Amino acid sequence: CIPDGETRDTSTCINQDIICDVSNCLVGPGCGNRMKQQFHLDLITTSVGLGVVCNTTIPKYAFIIEYVGEVLLRSDAVRLLDQRYQVQLRAQTT
């Protein structure tokens, strides 16, 4: 895993393309491969739907993912919890 302070381009970690969690990583909370939201996101409304923007500089080699899917109300998410993979983003509407 990529220890804090290293980047994806300088790390010699053979597992840097694996997203680590407690089930597959022995490094612990200092592991740089863990999915964690580090930047403030704003939720915006566009003519084609919702979007997420980041109003801060994202450093080179930061791990960025694309989200493609539907936005669910909490009640719908709870109902579908065992049927789908879900990701919760912390975003503020603007």
* One domain for residues 26 and 64: no
* One domain for residues 7 and 45: no
Euclidean distance between CA atoms 44 and 47, whole angstroms: 10
What is the pLDDT at residue 2? 58
Name which of 32, 6, 30 is nearest 19 in CA terms. Answer: 32
Q: What is the reported pTM?
A: 0.36
Alpha helices in 1-94 (DSSP H): 74-79
* One domain for residues 27 and 52: no
pLDDT value at 5 more than 70:
no
Q: How confident is the model at residue 90 (pLDDT cuts 50, 70, 90)?
A: low
Average pLDDT, the chain: 70
Name which of 80, 62, 60 is nearest 70 in CA terms. Answer: 80
* Beta-sheet pairing, 49-54 with 41-46: antiparallel
Structural domain boundaries, residue 24 = 1-36
Q: H or E stretch including 92?
A: strand 91-93
* One domain for residues 53 and 80: yes
